[in-house]
Amino acid sequence: MTREEIVSGVEKFSPWFYEFKLPGGICTPSLLPPQVRAIHTTRLAMTEQAVCAFFGENIGDRTALDIGCHEGYFSIAMAQKGFKQVTGTDLREESLDKARFVASALGLKNVSWTKNDCEDLSALRGPFDLTLLLGVLYHLENPMLCLRNIAALTAGMCLVETQVVEEIDGSTEWGAREWTRPYRGVMALIDETGEFNSGNRETGAAPLVMCPSPKAVEFMLREAGFKKVETLQPPVNGYEQHLRGKRLMFAAYK
């Protein structure tokens, strides 16, 4: 693309959620407040560290799937990192149009885009060595179904980053006073009706969403079919929510 075409595309597809550094010193302006944008850079730093630790020098032979890719921020980062092929999928075509524009402006040939709801990924042909679910899980009405779908497509490692709620430990009666079951984490019902009805692109496919506790994420990932799950540590200069444990990234391994 020429510089004029890139400038025109940035204006055409505004507003932008992510900051992309494009050729010619052009950068897409994020609509997020400056103090919140570190969510993205913290996620990216944690993702890149986990990817390098797991795949080492074999990235060029690997494939990746970015679920709920939005404007393609992490898909494009993985393509630039050298994955053989990256697939970004999202529910909203307008977000995918932005991703296509950015990838084209950067001249990337190893990334493609497809429209899917993460509660139905049957159109995708895996397996993928790496799967990403970053900033998506807490926007879902049926997170367990989504994780099962992703596990079925994952051959190596899955990275899940999510907002989390406070943990609750305990047990409940289960059929009779003397029969009980322990909690394996909890899910909080969150109402996103206002954002959903206003067309906010950062919501999920429904106005009712379920935000998990840390133990719930780990338990669901294991139940989905991952053999090992670990919580990753944020960088010392990471986003304040990550540093306070209000957002967590999990690595799940097949």
pLDDT tens for residues 20-67?
999 999 999 999 999 999 999 999 999 999 999 999 988 999 999 999
* The token pair that represents 155 in the structure block: 């051959």
What's the CA gap between 217 and 164, in Å, rounded?
9
Kindly indicate the confidence band of residue 198, based on its pLDDT and cuts at 50, 70 and 90: confident
Q: What is the pLDDT of residue 206?
A: 81
Q: What is the pLDDT of residue 133?
A: 98
- What is the tens place of the pLDDT at every residue in 90-113? 999 999 999 999 999 999 999 999
- What is the tens place of the pLDDT at every residue in 203-227? 777 888 999 999 999 999 999 999 9
What's the CA gap between 148 and 136, in Å, rounded?
15
Q: What is the pLDDT of residue 118?
A: 87
- Name the pTM for this structure: 0.94
Kindly indicate the confidence band of residue 253, based on its pLDDT and cuts at 50, 70 and 90: very high
- What is the tens place of the pLDDT at every residue in 2-20? 999 999 999 999 999 999 9
> Using omega within 30 degrees of 0 as the cis cutoff, is the peptide bond preceding 143 cis?
no
What's the CA gap between 72 and 99, in Å, rounded?
5
What's the CA gap between 105 and 99, in Å, rounded?
10
> How long a stretch of residues is the chain?
254
Q: What is the pLDDT of residue 207?
A: 84
| Count of other CB atoms within 10 angstroms of residue 59 | 18
pLDDT(201) > 90: no
- What is the tens place of the pLDDT at every residue in 127-171? 999 999 999 999 999 999 999 999 999 999 999 999 999 999 999
Strands 228-232, 247-253: pairing kind: antiparallel
What's the CA gap between 114 and 108, in Å, rounded?
16
Domains (range + CATH), the chain:
3-253 (3.40.50.150)
